[in-house]
Amino acid sequence: MSQFKRIKAGIVGGTGYTGVELLRLLAQHPGVELAAITSRKEAGTPVASMFPSLRGRVALAFSESHRAELTGCDVVFFATPNGVAMGEAGALLDAGVKVVDLSADFRLKDVDEWERWYKVRHAARERIAEAVYGLCELNREAIRGARLVANPGCYPTAVQLGFLPLVESRAVDLDHLIADAKSGLSGAGRKTETHLLFAEASDNFAAYGIAGHRHWPEIRQGLAQAAGREVGLVFAPHLAPMIRGIHATLYARVTREADFQALFEKRYAQEPFVDVMPAGSLPDTRSVRAANVCRIAVHRPGETARGGDTLLVLAVIDNLVKGAAGQAVQNMNIMFGLPETLGLEQVPVVP
């Protein structure tokens, strides 16, 4: 792909699931040269010895977070826990490096709300205004000129893409949106917590975070931007015994009749990574496994029955791709003027 000058990319914190997924995607990206990957804990360890799946494909070793290495990059991805990027992104930006932050540090515009949910003081309040929320289908133009992109969370990606056409058209009751979302275990990260063990999570299903989940303000912020007003949202996340995948089942009460199938098809007609399926479809999460796609189906189950004014939207993504690393690469492509689909054309892995 000689027509592209290869972008030098660095990754901060590459030992989690979004990190290794970034590595998988960037290693195959024809416009990117992987220049550095840092991990304080694993400094010196070859990436491929921690992730044998990358043997022969990624020659890098994890390095200490030497600023020099990273400031030599064109773009740096933060695949770190919350709280790291806000401390380190500034210096990179000042050195002319573009930043895509896969953590939550720059996602909320209201810093007070951010601090309420993340329980620490924000370390780079002055950068929040500049950060662009990287939901490409909502903010593409702003992303094009951005230096700092806040890559959306996994649930927020699926839930916002599923609600966007309804919210933009104001055809539903915006005070009573319901998002019943189910996620695979990789969404919780590569953390050694008891409830994430195979013997706990397998053959099991449960809700969590009902009392309050950090993705709730993020979703509300995005939908409010699209609606031009505040929205009411009940968000109920669940853990499903699978590795990857988010299935968002969205409920909204129709307040103004419309051809909702057409509404969705029109809204996403030009989007390379949103697939509005034919009416009546039932998207399954494996149909997007390991690929940068969101598939959506719109249902009106009981048109004439009691409760028939409720619309259902089903939206599926791979939480690690369109919900994290894939969307980050999509953002990079947009930021650097590359074709938006470059390096993101993997076909979903089925079965």
Within residues 201-240, the interface with a copy of itself by CB under 8 A covers: 201-208, 210-212, 230-236, 238, 240
Which entry of 73, 136, 154, 294 is annotated as an active-site residue?
A: 154
User: Per rule CB under 8 A, is residue 346 in the interface with a copy of itself?
Assistant: yes
Residue nearer to a copy of itself on the CB measure, 69 or 284: 284
Cβ-proximal residues to 122 (8 Å cutoff; 6+ apart), any chain? 86, 105, 111, 114, 115, 128
Residue nearer to a copy of itself on the CB measure, 44 or 351: 351
Identify whether 73 is a catalytic site residue: no
Residue 179, strand partner residues:
235, 250
By C-alpha distance, which of 149, 135, 154 is closest to 271?
135
Query: Binding marks (x or -) toward a copy of itself, 72..111, rule CB under 8 A?
Result: ----------------------------------------
By C-alpha distance, which of 242, 245, 223 is closest to 234?
223
* Binding-site member from 33, 110, 130, 175 for a copy of itself (CB under 8 A): 175
Number of residues that bind a copy of itself (CB under 8 A): 94
Residue nearer to a copy of itself on the CB measure, 194 or 270: 194
H-helix or E-strand containing 274? strand 274-276
Residue nearer to a copy of itself on the CB measure, 59 or 206: 206
Residue nearer to a copy of itself on the CB measure, 20 or 335: 20
H-helix or E-strand containing 267? helix 260-267
Contacts 24+ apart (CB under 8 A), 188-197: 188/239, 189/16, 189/17, 189/18, 190/15, 190/16, 190/17, 195/239
* Binding-site member from 122, 247, 267, 322 for a copy of itself (CB under 8 A): 247
- Window of 71-79, 119-127, 151-159, 190-198 that interacts with a copy of itself by CB under 8 A: 190-198
Instruction: Report residue 22: phi and psi, to 5°.
Output: -55, -45
C-alpha span between 144 and 122 (Å, rounded):
26
- Window of 90-98, 99-107, 178-186, 327-335 that interacts with a copy of itself by CB under 8 A: 178-186
User: Per rule CB under 8 A, is residue 18 in the interface with a copy of itself?
Assistant: no
- 3-state DSSP assignment of residue 131: coil
Residue numbers 253-312 binding a copy of itself by CB under 8 A: 253, 275, 277, 280-291, 295, 299, 301-302, 305-308, 310, 312
